Amino acid sequence: MEEKALAALLAKLKIKRWLWPQLDDPNMLDKFIKLQQEPVVLPSKQSLKGLDISQEMIDGHWCFTIKPKKSPSKNHIFYIHGGAFILPISSNHWRLITDVARASKASVTVPLYPLVPEHDYRPIHRHIKKVYDMTTKQHDPDNITVIGDSAGANLALVLPLLVAKSKQPKNVIALSPVVDLRANNPDIDKLEPADPFLPLDTIRHVLPRYYGSLDPKDPIISPLFADYKKVKSKLHLLTSGKDLLSPDVELLHKSLKEQSIDHEYIYHPHLVHAWPILPTRSAKNTRRQIAKWCR
């Protein structure tokens, strides 16, 4: 009930019109770039209770490591933040990262990465793969869980396709992923009014900046069309009824079933896009489940 009321309130307030620069704004892309140039958002002191944080610069982009102070496990999380490939990491992302690290006792690598519109998928993929390869030198891939939300979930689903099978992670947890960069499923147009967070017109304007001249159906950027038969990672797909991306996630679920790929598909009819990063009761419950998968 909490989530239904929240979704209705956010839709009524038209909050997505406040969250995103609008297409009729000639300076839309400049505003995104300005957001990217602001100081990096860091986790609050309260959220870091029981955790240590360190950072290093890798090819011009910060990479953070979170570690439990007491009795850390051998398990490790590689977290890829979302934001339509164009927005930087936020306090909501850090909420999930720190909560799951505490609950699972796993350490976490959090790579920041190049963003649209100044970069397309190629340098983004190169950077994520490079940091992940570095991570596998310190942690056994069989102990690694890759997690991503939204656009970060797209990258999480693509990552096992970019690395050698021996380096594929144990789990991939995709929270509200974008899986078809064409964004042309008529069912997403029907859902757009019910989605309080994602403005479809802006998403359709930003995505071509990410894939550039590449066919948006290419499986290296659109997991819906990928062959996962050679991927050993257990895939977990989480989506929801107030998320305009959910019809495409359902299609990916059906595709994986047809490929006889063992995976988990969780659909919550009343929840919003990327709900696990939010400060709600349902989000806390989902974060507890995510932590169990990471143990």
Indicate whether 128 pLDDT > 80: yes
- Mean pLDDT throughout 112-132? 98
pLDDT digits (tens, 9 = 90+) for 70-88: 999 999 999 999 999 999 9
C-beta of residue 71 within 8 angstroms of C-beta of residue 295: no
Cβ-Cβ contacts under 8 Å for 20 (sequence gap 6 or more)? 199, 202
Question: For residue 199, how many other CB atoms are within 10 A of its CB?
Answer: 20
Average pLDDT for 35-62: 97
Tokens of 272: 């919003």
The pLDDT score that the predictor gives to residue 29 is: 87
In angstroms, the Cα distances linking 80 to 11, 84, 133, 201, 276 are: 27, 12, 14, 24, 14
pLDDT at residue 2, as a whole number: 60
Is 110 a residue whose pLDDT tops 50? Answer: yes
Neighbours of 31 (CB within 10 A): 13
Query: pLDDT for 262-286, tens place per residue?
Result: 999 999 999 999 999 999 999 999 9
Query: In the prediction, which pLDDT does 1 show?
Result: 47
The 10 Å Cβ neighbour count of residue 20 is: 22
Q: pTM of the entire structure?
A: 0.94
The alpha carbon of 126 is separated from its chain's Cα centroid by a whole number of angstroms, namely 17
| DSSP symbol at 74 | S
Note the pLDDT of residue 20.
Answer: 66
The alpha carbon torsion through 287, 99, 16, 217 (nearest 10 deg) reads -60
pLDDT confidence of residue 11: 54
Question: In angstroms, what CA-CA distances link 98 with 45, 110, 133, 174, 221?
Answer: 11, 11, 23, 17, 28
- For the 2-293 domain, the top CATH level (class) is alpha beta
Largest CA distance in the chain: 52
> pLDDT averaged over the chain?
94
For residue 26, give the DSSP letter: T
Dihedral Cα 129, 246, 93, 84, nearest 10 deg:
60
- pLDDT of 4 > 90? The answer is no
Q: Is residue 13 scored above 50 in pLDDT?
A: no
| Statement: residue 9 has pLDDT above 80 | no
Q: What is the pLDDT of residue 289?
A: 98
What per-residue confidence (pLDDT) applies to 80?
99
Q: What is the pLDDT of residues 173-227, one digit of tens each?
A: 999 999 999 999 999 999 999 999 998 988 999 999 999 999 999 999 999 999 9
DSSP 277: G
Alpha-carbon gap, residue 258 to 184, rounded angstroms: 22
**Is 293 a residue whose pLDDT tops 70?**
yes
The domains of the chain are located at 2-293
**What pLDDT is attached to residue 24?**
57
Of all helices (H) and strands (E), which one includes residue 66? strand 61-68
Mean pLDDT of 140-154: 99
Q: What distance in Å separates the CA atoms of residue 289 and residue 286, rounded to the nearest whole number?
A: 5
pLDDT band at 28 (very low <50, low <70, confident <90, very high): confident
CA 132 to centroid of chain Cα atoms: 15
Q: For residue 5, is pLDDT > 70?
A: no
Whole-number percent of the chain with pLDDT over 90: 87
